Amino acid sequence: MRAPVAIVTGVGRRIGIGTAIARRLAAAGVDLLLQSWSPHDAEQPWGVDPGWPAPLVDELTALGRAVAHVEADFADPDAPRRVVAAAAERFGGVDVLVANHARSSSQDLEHLTAAEIDLSYAVNTRATLLLVKEFAATHDGTHPGRVVLMTSGQHRGPMPGELPYIASKGALHQLTASLAAHLAPRGITVNTVNPGATDTGWPDPETEQAVLEVEPMGRWGTPEDAARLIGWLAGPDAGWVTGEVVNSTGGGP
Per-residue confidence (pLDDT) for residue 42, from 0 to 100? 81
* Rounded Cα gap, residues 171 and 9, in angstroms: 18
Minimum mean pLDDT among 66-75, 117-126, 219-228: which range? Answer: 219-228
Phi, psi of 207 (to 5 degrees): -65, -40
Per-residue confidence (pLDDT) for residue 45, from 0 to 100? 77
Per-residue confidence (pLDDT) for residue 202, from 0 to 100? 74
Helix axes 223-233, 17-27, angle to 10 degrees: 50
Mean pLDDT of 134-152: 96
Q: Compute how many other C-beta atoms are within 10 angstroms of the C-beta atom of residue 185.
A: 7
Query: Which residues sit opposite 40 in a β-bridge?
Result: none
Residue 209 neighbours by CB under 8 Å, 6+ apart: none
Query: Model confidence over 93-112: pLDDT tens digits?
Result: 999 999 999 999 889 999 99
Q: Compute how many other C-beta atoms are within 10 angstroms of the C-beta atom of residue 76.
A: 14
Asked if the peptide bond before residue 53 counts as cis, ω within 30 degrees of 0, the response is yes
* Residues taking part in catalysis: 165
**% the chain with pLDDT above 90:** 79
Over 90: is that where the pLDDT of 154 sits?
no
Per-residue confidence (pLDDT) for residue 175, from 0 to 100? 98
Region of residue 149 (phi > 0: left; psi between -120 and 50: alpha; otherwise: beta): beta
Mean pLDDT of 14-28: 97
Domain coordinates of the chain in residue numbers? 5-247
89: exposed, middle or buried (C-beta count within 10 Å: 0-12, 13-18, 19+)? exposed
Over 80: is that where the pLDDT of 201 sits?
no
Between 3.40.50.720, 3.20.20.70, 3.40.50.300, 1.10.357.10, what CATH number should domain 5-247 receive? 3.40.50.720
Give the pairing type, strands 67-71 and 5-8: unpaired
More confidently predicted of 119 and 221: 119
More confidently predicted of 210 and 56: 56
Rounded to whole angstroms, the maximal C-alpha distance in the chain is 56
Query: Model confidence over 158-192: pLDDT tens digits?
Result: 999 999 999 999 999 999 999 999 999 999 999 99
Mean pLDDT of the chain: 94
Phi, psi of 187 (to 5 degrees): 75, 25
